[in-house]
């Protein structure tokens, strides 16, 4: 039958040659309908507050060009954030929305506990993302008393690799102590986040054993990729062979019963889709996640800086912006001009997330191909700028 119909012949050839299994293709197709529904509803599930860009480390791979010890950007006053939050709170469900305090290093602020108490009074769960360098028992107790219910601690390898990446010879020691404090706290959900580099990959098995020994239940891994904003040369990214090893490792770890191992924001993963994630790839920036940057900029994700600004809390109502803006995040028309549209996976990844592209719309790289993408579509740049 297929031999008599050119369209069917092409279809069956595609089905046979595709790198995705039939089961995954069906799953991805069904998931696309779910994505459209979620995008249409765009309920705010995560509100990120970049409460400071001050940092007590100097990480070689930092993607936030504003984060440094001697930053000229001052912390946003807590009053300003709470004023904006009180415009948001009546329109979202405290049971469905989490508030995440990030940076920079949030623990450098002395008023996190006050902020936490105010969020808790309003019925919201909140937590922080931290390098844990200055997280001691007393501070942890204060944060928990203020209602902190979740925390992410960064740990990027065994001692030498981690300290090298983070630029501090004591960083590993402090991170492990913090994880020891947190791992058995019933009232706080701990997640350990690991940026995998070429220095750290060979130690992943040792790191896994350490985390299991410490009692960690949730481990999030993601690879490094070159970004313009990085402070130093890209010496920490992983090559193609290491990439395959990493995701093969994660595929094996997904079967662990003692610990939930997940993949971070690595974009569409081709044949690895769903094997190392709880769901198929879906960048929720501007769809379920909104961000207030340190200068008041309303963004989609802390990884997306002012170029993707949707407004500012000092001049705009956040919820008005949330309900009426974020069009480029909720309408994939911008990706129709993407240089990768000819790829067989485009129909599933739809150009990946915007955080995978530079300010001109060119992809840093694609995990499916693992090579630089040549951007031959000038329309993409114009679309992104508007």
Domain boundaries, the chain: 21-333
Q: How far apart are CA 43 and CA 348, in angstroms?
A: 22
pLDDT tens digits, residue range 367-378? 766 533 333 333
pLDDT on residue 245: 76
Query: 254-259 — which CB contacts under 8 Å span 24+ positions?
Result: 258/212, 258/217, 259/208, 259/211, 259/212, 259/216, 259/217, 259/218, 259/219
Q: What is the pLDDT of residue 229?
A: 44
Asked whether the beta carbons of 183 and 214 are under 8 A apart, the reply is: yes
For residues 220 and 155, the answer to whether their CB atoms sit within 8 Å is: no
pLDDT, tens digit, for every residue of 349-360?
Answer: 888 877 777 767
Q: Are the CB atoms for 184 and 160 separated by under 8 Å?
A: no
Kindly give the residue spans of alpha helices, DSSP state H, lying in the chain.
Answer: 6-17, 22-41, 78-88, 112-121, 137-145, 159-166, 171-182, 204-214, 240-253, 318-324, 327-330, 346-349, 378-385
Q: Residue 5 — left, alpha, or beta (φ > 0 → left; ψ -120 to 50 → alpha)? A: beta
CATH 3.20.20.70 given to domain 21-333: yes
> How confident is the model at residue 334, as a pLDDT?
67
Residue where the block lists tokens 């919820």 = 319
Q: Is 171 helix (H, G, I), strand (E, B) or coil?
A: helix
What DSSP assignment string belongs to 182-210? HTT-TTSEEEEEEEE-TTTGGGHHHHHHH
> According to the model, what pLDDT value does residue 71 have?
60
Low-confidence residues of the chain, pLDDT below 50?
A: 1-17, 228-236, 371-386
Look up residue 241 and give its two tokens: 């062979």
pLDDT for the residue numbered 228: 45
What residues have CB less than 8 Å from 232, skipping those under 6 apart? 60
């Amino acid at each position: 039958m297929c031999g008599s119909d050119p369209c069917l012949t092409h279809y069956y050839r595609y089905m046979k040659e595709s790198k995705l299994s039939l089961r995954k293709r069906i799953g991805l197709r069904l998931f696309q309908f779910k994505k459209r529904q979620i995008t249409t509803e765009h309920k705010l599930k995560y509100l990120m507050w970049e409460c400071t860009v001050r940092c007590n480390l100097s990480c070689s791979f930092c993607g936030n060009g504003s984060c440094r010890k001697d930053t000229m950007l001052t912390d946003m006053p807590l009053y300003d954030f709470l004023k904006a939050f009180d415009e948001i709170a009546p329109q979202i469900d405290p049971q469905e929305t989490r508030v995440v305090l990030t940076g920079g290093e949030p623990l450098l602020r002395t008023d996190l506990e006050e902020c936490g108490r105010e969020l808790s009074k309003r019925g919201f769960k909140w937590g922080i993302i931290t390098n844990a360098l200055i997280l001691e028992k007393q501070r942890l107790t204060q944060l928990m008393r203020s209602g902190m219910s979740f925390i992410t601690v960064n740990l990027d390898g065994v001692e030498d690799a981690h300290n090298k990446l983070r630029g501090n010879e004591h960083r590993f020691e402090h991170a492990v102590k913090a994880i020891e404090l947190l791992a058995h706290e019933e009232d706080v959900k701990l997640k350990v986040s690991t940026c995998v580099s070429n220095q750290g990959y060979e130690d992943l098995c040792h790191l896994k054993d350490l985390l299991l020994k410490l009692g960690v239940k949730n481990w999030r891994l993601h690879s490094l990729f070159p970004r313009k904003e990085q402070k130093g040369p890209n010496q920490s990214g992983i090559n193609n062979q290491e990439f395959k090893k990493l995701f093969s490792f994660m595929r094996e770890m997904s079967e662990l019963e003692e610990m939930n191992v997940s993949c971070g924001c690595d974009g569409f993963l081709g044949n690895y889709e769903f094997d190392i994630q709880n769901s198929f790839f879906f960048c929720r920036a501007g769809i379920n996640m909104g961000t207030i940057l340190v200068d008041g900029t309303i963004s989609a994700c802390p990884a997306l800086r002012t170029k993707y600004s949707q407004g500012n809390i000092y001049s705009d109502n956040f919820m008005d912006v949330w309900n009426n803006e974020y069009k480029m995040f909720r309408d994939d028309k911008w990706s129709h001009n993407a240089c990768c549209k000819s790829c067989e996976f485009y129909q599933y990844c739809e150009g990946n997330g915007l955080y995978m592209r530079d300010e001109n719309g060119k992809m840093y790289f694609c995990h499916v191909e693992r090579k630089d993408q040549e951007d031959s579509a000038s329309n993409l740049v114009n679309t992104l700028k508007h």
